[in-house]
Each structure stands twice: as C-alpha cells, then as structure tokens.
Amino acid sequence: MTELEKYIQSYFGISQEDLAQVGALFKRQTIKKGDYFLKTGRVCDKLSFIQSGLLRIYVQTPNKEVTQLISTKGYFVTDLASLIFNTPARWTIQALTDAEIYTIDSQDYNRIGTLIPKWHELEKLFIARCFTILEDRIFTHLSMTAEERYHFFFERNKELFNQVPLQYIASMLGMTPETFSRIRKKSIS
C-alpha cells in the first residue's frame, strides 16, 4: 500500500479495491521550492496529496501578504471553493521546499463519485471534519491572545518551527514577525 493509499484509507476508510481505484487516479509529481502550485485568480483544477515537502497557502493583499496555512506531509492541498465551484482561486499556493505530491485533476476528481458510490458520503464527512477544524481555529482568534495562540499552535506543531520561515507561521497566527519573535524569546528562556 502506498503512503497515499494509507492516508486515504485512514481518512475515508474504504476497501482495498476502491483504494487502488482511487489511488490510481493520482499522478506522482514533483514541485521545486518556490514553484507555484496555484495562483490567485486562476481556477484550481486539481487536488493534491502531499507525500513530502511543505506548501504555503497565502494571499497577497494591498498592504501585506497573509499566510492562511502551511500544508505538510499527509495533507491534501487545493482551493476547495475553486475546485468544486469553478470560481477563481482566492489563494496562491507555493512550495516552501521541494515537494513530492500526488495530483488528481478535477475531471478525475469528479469521476470518483461514479466509481465508488459511497465516495460522496465519505467526502462529505471528510469536509465536515475540515469544517470543524476551521470552527476551532476561529475560536482561537475570538478567545486567545497572540501569545496564547502561539503556545497553542506550538504544542501541536513543534516540528514546523524549524522547517519554515517563522514569519509565515506568525502571519498564519495573525501576528507580526516581531511579536512572534518576542513571544518566542520569552518562551525559550
């Protein structure tokens, strides 16, 4: 079983055969550090699984660049709204490191449901789980200070802190790099 299949298995819980069928629709692909997976304004016509490497999802606003998420091994990456509704992508997605990904194009993606009858239901559950993760993330912004968000995130994502420029984590947590740096200093000493 490939790693992709293992992850799909764990997220969706489908049979060996179904797994092989879905897995086969994903094509292995490498993407170099700095390359763009997606740019704001284009329609996102693919969904990828990250086998290795790191991708950053962000938006360029008039004032500043805002990092929405850093996606790592084992996660799927796409602009969901754009993929599903064919709207222009809100996010730009760029590789922070060389990355190995498995990609399915939107055509094949839309075909999964016909191959595997239960797929829509399982995917519904998967997206619902993603939904609740975002609910919780909003809650952190309503209830926590920058410092609390830092610790909360750090406890759950220690590895990330020595893999990516910290300014991106700062942005993702809704604070400036300077504030991030000061909290970090306090926390280390």
Partner DNA sequence: GTAATTTCTTGATTTATGTCAAGAGCTTTT
Partner DNA sequence: AAAAGCTCTTGACATAAATCAAGAAATTAC
| Residues at the site binding DNA, with contacts judged by CB under 7 A | 145-147, 165-167, 174-182, 184-185
All residues at 6 or more sequence positions from 85 whose CB lies less than 8 Å from its CB, including other chains: none
Residue 36, beta-bridge partner list: 94
178 binds, among DNA, a copy of itself, none (CB under 5 to 8 A by kind): DNA
In this structure, what token pair is assigned to residue 170? 């700062």
Q: How far apart are CA 56 and CA 69, in angstroms?
A: 6
Q: How far apart are CA 95 and CA 41, in angstroms?
A: 18
147 binds, among DNA, a copy of itself, none (CB under 5 to 8 A by kind): DNA
Residue 47, CA distances (Å) to 26, 126, 145 in order: 9, 14, 34
If the CB atoms of residues 24 and 127 are measured against a copy of itself, the closer one turns out to be 127
61 binds, among DNA, a copy of itself, none (CB under 5 to 8 A by kind): a copy of itself
Residues 106-145 that bind a copy of itself (CB under 8 A): 113, 120-121, 123-125, 127-132, 134-139, 141-143
For 160, list phi and psi in degrees, rounded to 5: -60, -30
For tokens 């990609």, the residue is: 103
For tokens 């939904």, the residue is: 131
In this structure, what token pair is assigned to residue 97? 């490191």
42 binds, among a copy of itself, DNA, none (CB under 5 to 8 A by kind): none
If the CB atoms of residues 42 and 186 are measured against DNA, the closer one turns out to be 186
If the CB atoms of residues 85 and 158 are measured against a copy of itself, the closer one turns out to be 85
Residue 147 interacting with a copy of itself (CB under 8 A): no
CB of 132 to DNA, least distance (A): 25
With CB under 8 A as the contact rule, the residue among 3, 25, 75, 90 that binds a copy of itself is: 90
Residue 60, beta-bridge partner list: 65
Kindly state the helix (H) or strand (E) to which residue 128 belongs, with its residue range: helix 119-143
Residues forming the site for a copy of itself (CB under 8 A): 59, 61, 64, 66-68, 80-81, 84-85, 90, 113, 120-121, 123-125, 127-132, 134-139, 141-143, 171-172, 174
